[in-house]
Amino acid sequence: MTNKLYDTSLSLLTDLYQVTMAYGYWKSGTAEKEAVFNLYFRKNPFGGGFTIACGLTNVIGFIENFGFSKKDLRYLRSLTGSDGLPLFEEAFLDYLATLKLTCDIEAMPEGTVVFPNEPLVRVRGPILQCQLIETPLLNLINFESLIATKAARLRLVVEQDILLEFGLRRAQGVDGGMTASRAAYIGGCDATSNVLAGKLYGIPVRGTHAHSWVMSFENELEAFLTYANVMPNNITLLVDTYDTIQGVRNAIETGRQLKRQGHKLSAIRLDSGDLAYLSIEARKLLDEAGFTDTAIVASNDLDETIITSLKQQGAKINIWGVGTKLVTAFDQPALGGVYKLTALRHEPSVRASVGEWDYKMKLSEQAIKISTPGIQQVRRFRNEQGFVADMIYDESNARIAPTPTPMTMIDPLDFTKRRKFDADQPYEDLLVPVFRSGNCVYENPDIHTIRNRVQTQLAGLHPGVKRFVNPHTYPVGLEKHLHELKTELILKLREGA
> How many CB atoms sit inside 10 A of residue 188's CB?
23
pTM of the full structure: 0.94
Sign of CA dihedral 349, 352, 353, 356: negative
360 confidence band (pLDDT: 50, 70, 90): very high
pLDDT value at 1 more than 80:
no
Nearest to 179 by CA among 329, 298, 50: 329
417-429 pLDDT, tens digit per residue, is 899 999 899 999 9
Contact 184, 52 (CB under 8 A): no
383-415 pLDDT, tens digit per residue, is 999 999 999 999 987 555 555 578 999 998 888
Return d(Cα 38, Cα 104) in angstroms, integer.
12
Return d(Cα 52, Cα 435) in angstroms, integer.
21
Q: What percent of the chain has pLDDT over 90?
A: 88
Mean pLDDT of 245-266: 97
104-129 pLDDT, tens digit per residue, is 999 999 999 999 999 999 999 999 99
Nearest to 141 by CA among 64, 56, 63: 56
Nearest to 269 by CA among 286, 257, 289, 256: 286
Task: Specify the DSSP class assigned to residue 205.
Answer: B
Contact 41, 335 (CB under 8 A): yes
Which pLDDT score is estimated for 351? 35
Mean pLDDT of 470-481: 96
Mean pLDDT of 147-152: 98
77-97 pLDDT, tens digit per residue, is 999 999 999 999 999 999 999
Q: Report the phi/psi class of residue 314: left, alpha or beta, with left for phi > 0 and alpha for psi in -120 to 50.
A: left
Mean pLDDT of 450-476: 97
CA 383 to chain CA centroid, nearest Å: 27
Which pLDDT score is estimated for 401? 52
Three-class SS of residue 479? strand
pLDDT value at 250 more than 70:
yes
Q: Report the phi/psi class of residue 116: left, alpha or beta, with left for phi > 0 and alpha for psi in -120 to 50.
A: beta
What is the CATH T-level fold of the domain 16-147+333-496, as seen in this structure?
nicotinate phosphoribosyltransferase (3.20.140)
Residues 6+ apart with CB under 8 A from 296: 267, 268, 269, 270, 279, 282, 283, 286, 316, 317, 318, 319
Q: Are strands 191-192 and 121-126 parallel, antiparallel or unpaired?
A: unpaired
277-329 pLDDT, tens digit per residue, is 999 999 999 999 999 999 999 999 999 999 999 999 999 999 999 999 999 99
How many residues are recorded in the chain? 497
Residues 6+ apart with CB under 8 A from 265: 235, 237, 251, 252, 254, 255, 258, 259, 291, 294
Which pLDDT score is estimated for 403? 55
Which pLDDT score is estimated for 6? 55
Q: Phi and psi dihedrals of 285, rounded to 5?
A: -65, -45
Which pLDDT score is estimated for 350? 37
End-to-end CA distance of the chain: 48
Which pLDDT score is estimated for 198? 97
User: Any idea where the domains of the chain sit in the sequence?
Assistant: 16-147+333-496
Q: Phi and psi dihedrals of 121, rounded to 5?
A: -140, 140
Which pLDDT score is estimated for 468? 95
| Nearest-10 crossing angle of helices 304-312, 275-288 | 50
